[in-house]
Amino acid sequence: MRNYFPKIFLYILGLFFLLNLLQAWSTQLIFDEAYYWYYAREISWGYFDHPPMVAWLIALGQLFFEGELGVRFLSCILGIGTMAVLWLLVDDPKKKDYIPHFFVLIASMTLVHAYGFLMLPDTPLLFFTALFFLVYKRFLASPGVQTAILLGLVMAALMYSKYHAFLVIFFVFLSNPGLIRERHAWLAVLISLTAYSPHLMWLYDNHFVSVRYHLFERPNRPYEFFDFTAGYFINLIAIFGLTFYWIYRATFKTPSRDLFTKALLFVSIGILLFFFISSFQRRVQTQWIIVICIPMAVLAYRYMLNHESARKWIFRMGLVNICILMFLRIGLVFEPLFPVVYETHGNRTWVKKITSRAGDIPVVFENSYRMAPMFEFYTGIPSFSLNNAWYRENQYSIDASENRVRNKKVLYVSRYLPGGDISFTMPDSTLFYGVYMDPFRSYRKLRTEIIDMTGTEAGERFAFEVRNPYSFGVPISELKFGLETLDRYKQILKVIPLTVVPGETPLPLLPPGARITLFANFPSDLEEEAAFVKVVISENGLRWGLNGKRKAIE
């Protein structure tokens, strides 16, 4: 191992590992981690928002440790693994003379630093991107069956981490079109598709719910230059902090002298351009572009080794970055040091406020796939996120968690209630109320679809279908129907209650697996800006659900 990793390198790497373990153990979960912990409660080939890799890693980590460290243990392993693979990607013999510079460069990258201990989908994405480049580099040097199999498995692992990984694979291929004539490359693709096929089958069985949400159903809003495009450039700076100028300079100054360097450049610049174009359609989140850190770290370190000025400035500014990041890391645990209230602050406190009043009865959170798993993580008490028309679908919409709270006494928690049996404030001072419901009955998986709509004039009749996917009958008398209107950005405008007329054979009970056709008239107060409509359901007085399939107004 010393031939690849000098002793001082291993010492520093071990120091990072111990630091990340300590941070992982001492820091309360952030909401997304709690959500992915909830994924891991039931191992599957897929989940609503993401492929399953993050859930698999959490489940594996919990075999070794409990609590927060169990959730994050594998992130600590992958964090140092990413650093080690990045080191192997640089061939320059001078690198052994500048080991501290390497660690300063990598540890100064904001999200790479964070993903060394936080367990999020981007954590395995970064590791497998680095590993993909390493295997691809060896494939270029010596294409063969073994490297093709390994390359295919790593590509599958990439795609199991996050759907954005497709961009990495695509731009690497674009950098080397000659791969299309390489039979071992096709073997790698075949291996990758075979390994990834269980997730593809999961998507098929779940009506491609993840693809539909990310590509077609995610709400948007009108274009705003400062929030969309200008915000995108701010994200590009935030990823690298004070070293951003020299890292981008290193990328754009590097010539594509060989196929591997060309791949690094194509992925870096290709992803930058892809999300720049995307910024004219929607707001680009910082983590969407995090994958550029892998190829750009390699390019920047190479550049540092051969340009003294860049080496000095990246080292100096990187140290400042690290000092700021270390201060913030301490603030994740010791709240007074952090400049704002953050997600790791006070979770045990607000959870205790609820259990001190409600005991161990299940808790239903309105519109919060974040609070529901956080509550369950710290209490072990069943919880559920009841999603309505003003929110979005998530894992709670497609799994069986609703069964754990239906027909039971629950505490229903919402920030929209005017009052309640209990109240509590979150660390950010948001006030929540809770009311007891006994029994709680929801049927959020009921689906509706408008099947006959000739026009939207007031009073014009239309037909819609209601489908019951449950294994039990649903009383029609417990349901009310509404017409939800949305603008062209898929933002909800309002819900208008409908008076429905049953078909020829009114049913008091919608049998399991059955469909019923109902009729209603279009209301007179349809907004001019309405571009889509769908039928939604309120069961037992709950707020309107997310039941309907959207239909465009022609």
Return the pLDDT at 123: 97
Once rounded to an integer, what is the mean pLDDT over residues 360-388? 97
In tens, the pLDDT along 74-124 reads 999 999 999 999 999 999 999 999 999 999 999 999 888 899 999 999 999
Return the pLDDT at 226: 87
Return the pLDDT at 502: 64
Domain 447-552 belongs to what topology? Answer: Immunoglobulin-like (2.60.40)
Q: What burial letters (b/e) apply to 273-290, b meaning 16+ CB within 10 Å?
A: ebbeebbeeebbebbbbb
Enter the tokens of residue 5.
Answer: 């990793």
Calculate the alpha carbon distances from 86 to 29, 95, 384 in Å: 28, 12, 41
In tens, the pLDDT along 11-44 reads 999 999 999 999 999 999 999 999 999 999 999 9
Return the pLDDT at 505: 53
Once rounded to an integer, what is the mean pLDDT over residues 331-358? 92
Q: What is the rounded CA–CA span in Å between residue 117 and residue 38?
A: 18
Q: What is the rounded CA–CA span in Å between residue 134 and residue 186?
A: 18
Residue type, 225: F
pLDDT at 453 over 90: no
Q: What is the DSSP string of 24-39?
A: HHHSPPPHHHHHHHHH
pLDDT at 479 over 90: yes
Q: Which comes out higher in pLDDT, residue 293 or 454?
A: 293
CA Rg, the chain, in Å?
26
In tens, the pLDDT along 399-417 reads 999 999 999 999 999 999 9
Return the pLDDT at 132: 98
Once rounded to an integer, what is the mean pLDDT over residues 457-484? 92
In tens, the pLDDT along 259-304 reads 999 999 999 999 999 999 999 988 999 999 999 999 999 999 999 9
Calculate the alpha carbon distances from 305 to 95, 483, 507 in Å: 7, 63, 76
Q: Whole-prediction pTM value?
A: 0.94
Residue type, 477: S
Q: Where are the domains of the chain?
A: 7-206+221-335, 347-440, 447-552
First to last CA, the chain: 66
- Give the pLDDT band (50/70/90) at residue 184: very high
3-state helix, strand, coil in the chain (%, to 5): 55, 15, 30
Say what percent of the chain tops pLDDT 70.
99
Q: Which comes out higher in pLDDT, residue 323 or 506?
A: 323
Return the pLDDT at 150: 97
